[in-house]
């Protein structure tokens, strides 16, 4: 059983992530750390002990992947913990998301930086300061 750790700068995003973990049957602990909210989580082994045949498992994964690709939505969370979308639904593709991000970033070109609650962020560093999420 592998344990994973993720730190979110946004409480809202952390809550969404936590809900997804619990929905998949995972166990998680949450604590406040410098820089955000840390979630440590793991997924317990199945109690039945039965393993699926490899072909069945592969088929299920392929079907699930196709289904999830259709239903995936993407978003970008600003360094201040809010979405960059203004009156726009979540993005259907990563290309759509990247294009909108560049358009959003251009709004700050005149002043030369993004003014965050934690201080100014240079535009070339802005993408790395944002959280790129899949909903």
Q: Could you please report the per-residue DSSP string of the chain? A: --EEEEEES-HHHHHHHHHHHHHTT-EEEEEEETTEEEEEEE-PPPSS-----HHHHHHHHHHHHHHHHHH--EEEE-TTSSBS-SS-PPBSSHHHHHHHHHHHHHTTTTTTEEEETTEEEEGGGHHHHSEEEE-
Predicted pLDDT at 1: 63
Q: Tens-of-pLDDT digits for all 135 residues of the chain?
A: 688 888 898 889 988 998 998 888 888 888 888 878 888 888 887 654 555 445 556 666 666 666 556 678 999 999 988 999 988 899 999 999 999 999 999 999 999 999 998 899 999 999 999 999 998
């Amino acid at each position: 059983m592998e344990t994973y750790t993720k730190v979110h700068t946004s409480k809202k995003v952390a809550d969404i992530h936590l809900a997804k973990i619990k929905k998949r049957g995972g166990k998680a602990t949450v604590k406040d750390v410098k820089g955000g909210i840390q979630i440590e989580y793991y997924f317990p082994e199945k109690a039945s002990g039965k393993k699926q045949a490899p072909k069945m498992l592969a088929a299920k994964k392929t079907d699930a992947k196709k289904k999830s690709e259709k239903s995936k939505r993407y978003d970008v969370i600003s360094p201040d913990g809010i979405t960059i979308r203004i009156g726009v639904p979540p993005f259907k593709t990563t290309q759509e998301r990247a294009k909108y991000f560049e358009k959003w970033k251009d709004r700050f070109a005149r002043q030369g930086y993004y003014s965050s609650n934690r201080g100014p962020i240079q535009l070339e560093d802005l993408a790395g300061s944002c959280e790129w999420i899949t909903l």
